[in-house]
């Protein structure tokens, strides 16, 4: 049964235990992913969230209103079949991490980046045992290979569901370190998102807000917050 039939055709949505996790059933039939794989979820919390999204559908299915279902499908249909490749791709962010490339002017922005980003780099060194160094300007500077390898190993240790969430945390923030800060709950997730937007916020203070940019930022923020929720739901 395809997960994306257009019309609502079921009357009951239930969550049931299965081998290796939980699944959601529509009128007693197991949900499947778009690729026809079994939708086996790692925690009951995630299964309940998926079930709630299906229960909320009226008349026609709207995939955009089902973020947990979409993330679960991606975990199974995409990440599971290329886990190593996804992990390597995300680990590469460490070599050019947002927090490491600093402005050369004005002094006020330089100071703000140091005040807000240096503590996160210090946390990374202490908690993740990986010291990355900040540099001025945009010219590539090679980071310590041992530090990058330790971060890479941590990414590879993630489950398929954790990695699907981590993908969005890293790609939306532009920072491997902020992705880890989110998964370790180093700070409230809203604060971590704000850290990723430091440069944009500076520009807005100088030149004012751009309506379209603000709209796109809001969409990205909601996706970032969802990724944080999905990561937490994936943890057994």
pLDDT digits (tens, 9 = 90+) for 47-105: 999 999 999 998 898 999 999 999 999 999 999 999 999 999 999 999 999 999 999 99
Residue 59 falls in which region: left (phi positive, over 0), alpha (psi -120 to 50) or beta:
left
Mean pLDDT over the full length of the chain? 95
Cβ contact 171:182 at 8 Å: no
Return d(Cα 179, Cα 185) in angstroms, integer.
Answer: 10
What pTM was computed for the model? 0.94
Distances (CA, A) of 11 to 14, 27, 29, 58: 10, 6, 11, 11
Cβ contact 183:231 at 8 Å: yes
Of the pLDDT bands very low, low, confident and very high (cuts 50, 70, 90), residue 5 is: low
Q: What is the DSSP string of 172-196?
A: HHT-HHHHHHHHTTSS-HHHHHHHH
Which regions of 87-234 does DSSP assign to beta strands (E)?
101-102, 135-136
- Comparing CA positions, the residue from 106, 43, 39, 49 lying closest to residue 73 is 39
Domains and CATH numbers, the chain: 13-79 (3.30.2180.10), 83-234 (1.10.3580.10)
pLDDT digits (tens, 9 = 90+) for 147-160: 999 999 999 999 99
pLDDT digits (tens, 9 = 90+) for 45-59: 999 999 999 999 988
Residue 159 falls in which region: left (phi positive, over 0), alpha (psi -120 to 50) or beta:
beta
Q: Is 126 helix (H, G, I), strand (E, B) or coil?
A: helix
Q: Please determine, for residue 10, whether its predicted confidence score (pLDDT) is greater than 50.
A: yes
How crowded is the C-beta side of 201, counted as CA atoms within 13 Å?
11
Q: Please determine, for residue 179, whether its predicted confidence score (pLDDT) is greater than 70.
A: yes
């Amino acid at each position: 049964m395809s997960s994306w039939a257009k019309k609502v055709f079921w009357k009951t949505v239930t969550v049931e235990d299965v081998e290796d996790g939980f699944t959601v059933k529509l009128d007693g039939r197991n949900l499947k992913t778009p690729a026809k794989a079994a939708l086996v979820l790692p925690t009951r919390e995630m299964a309940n969230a998926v079930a709630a999204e299906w229960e909320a559908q009226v008349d026609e299915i709207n995939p955009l209103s089902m973020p947990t279902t979409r993330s679960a499908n991606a975990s199974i249909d995409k990440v599971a079949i290329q886990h190593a490749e996804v992990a390597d791709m995300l680990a590469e962010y460490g070599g050019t991490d947002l927090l490491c490339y600093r402005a050369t002017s004005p002094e006020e922005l330089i100071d703000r980046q140091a005040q807000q980003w240096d503590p996160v780099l210090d946390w990374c060194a202490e908690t993740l045992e990986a010291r990355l160094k900040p540099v001025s300007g945009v010219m590539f500077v090679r980071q310590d290979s041992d530090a990058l390898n330790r971060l890479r190993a941590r990414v590879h240790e993630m489950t398929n569901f954790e990695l699907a969430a981590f993908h969005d945390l890293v790609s939306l923030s532009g920072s491997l370190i902020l992705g880890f800060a989110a998964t370790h709950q180093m700070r409230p997730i809203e604060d971590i998102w704000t850290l990723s937007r430091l440069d944009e916020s500076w520009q807005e203070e100088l030149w004012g807000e751009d309506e379209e940019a603000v709209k796109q930022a809001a969409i990205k923020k909601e996706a970032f917050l969802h990724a944080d929720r999905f990561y937490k739901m994936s943890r057994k």
